[in-house]
Amino acid sequence: MLVYYILYAVTLVSMAAVAVPQSMSTRQKLERNAYWLVCILLCGLLALRHPTMGADLAYGQSYGYLGQFAVIAKYKWSALYAFSKASHYEYGFILFNKLLSVFTESNQVYIAVTAIMSLVPILILLYRNSDHPFDSLLIYLGLPVFLICYSSVRQAIAVSVCTLSFEFLKKKKFWPFLLVVLFAAMFHRTAIVFAVVYPLYHLHIDKRVQTFSILLIPLVFLLREPIFHLVSGYFRQNAVIEQTSSYTLFVVFSLIYIFTVLFGNENDPEECGYRNLFLLVCLFQAFASIYSIAMRLGYYFMPYLPLLLDRVLQNFPHDHQRQMARWAVVGSFALFGLYSIYVSRGDWAHASPYIFFWQSAGGG
């Protein structure tokens, strides 16, 4: 965990340095340089991790991402489409593996490239759209969508690619937006769900409807099983209920949504757009206790929660209230992020203990 403590410490020191009174131009330059320094450290941690960190990498096995990377490298380009029909991998992801294998068959380069692809677009999204990028970064690190970068390579890339569509979304350029989403779906087919963002982000919901939506979340949760039976057949014929005991995150997200409604500004269209997307996260999470894939669908909308909270925290009328709320929210996510990393040692992410690729996997 030491490397993560160092990462968080560097982030907090950078935040403190930016907070020191100084000219606006100096502050912006310092913030930009410090933010990208932290991002380089973060990308470096994921790029230099040992191949055992991430269950789906399946280091040393013929299955999993590393094993299939070696398999795809041996296929001719003309045989890739037939391979995709026999594989559960999307054709775009297979092409990406083949293209990378032209330059290298190194597992570590594969891990580094996929780590950078999974992180950099999201880090750019946070920097461009947040007034407090360090706050947004710490909130992102506290979300489960960050941990998928260790293991769920295809979906991590798909989530990241979807964020590239956000500028088109804001400018109401539908066709470029859709093309980016379709490109993301070539890495993980579930990315197609992100297409719903286009109308939802621009939908203005007034305070009364937002208040009603608070009641909608527990109602969907209570009716999740009959709703699941009603709609699952349209999307996946073999979908069955599974008891996952995934309740905590649903409660936490529901409370956060209530917070954003109570202290939100309905006249801020960007904040309303972010809140609409987070409502989807809560609704997907309502089904996570009976269908684990539901939470994975919510991953596509989670990167916008840091931007939503950044907006909402600025709505407090007094400076001392804003600062107290800011540190309470960001501090809670920072602690939860470290906790999530720590407990992931027995989970699918394997983010802890951290092991550099040149170290023995039995070490720490």
Look at residue 233 and tell me whether its pLDDT is greater than 80.
Answer: no
Look at residue 88 and tell me whether its pLDDT is greater than 50.
Answer: yes
- Angstrom distance (rounded) from CA 340 to CA 338: 5
Percent of the chain with pLDDT over 70: 95
Instruction: Output 238 or 248, whichever has higher pLDDT.
Output: 248
- Angstrom distance (rounded) from CA 17 to CA 301: 31
Asked if residue 271 lies in contact with residue 259, where contact means CB atoms within 8 angstroms, the answer is no
Look over the chain and give the mean of its residue pLDDT values, rounded to a whole number.
89
Asked if residue 341 lies in contact with residue 4, where contact means CB atoms within 8 angstroms, the answer is yes
pLDDT for the residue numbered 211: 86
What are the C-alpha distances in Å from 294 to residues 141, 194, 203? 21, 13, 23
Asked if residue 175 lies in contact with residue 163, where contact means CB atoms within 8 angstroms, the answer is no
pLDDT for the residue numbered 225: 81
Percent of the chain with pLDDT over 90: 56
- Angstrom distance (rounded) from CA 303 to CA 130: 12
**In 3D, which of 129, 132, 155, 119 has the Cα closest to residue 295?**
155
pLDDT for the residue numbered 364: 42
Both tokens of 67, joined, read 């094993």
pLDDT for the residue numbered 323: 86
**In 3D, which of 148, 163, 164, 153 has the Cα closest to residue 187?**
153
Highest averaged pLDDT of the listed ranges 64-78, 216-230, 286-300: 64-78
Chain segment 99-154, per-residue pLDDT in tens: 999 999 899 999 999 999 999 999 999 999 999 999 999 999 999 999 999 999 99
Chain segment 16-71, per-residue pLDDT in tens: 888 777 777 888 888 889 999 999 999 999 999 999 998 888 887 878 899 999 99
Asked if residue 52 lies in contact with residue 111, where contact means CB atoms within 8 angstroms, the answer is no
Domain boundaries of the chain, sorted by first residue: 203-315
pLDDT for the residue numbered 17: 85
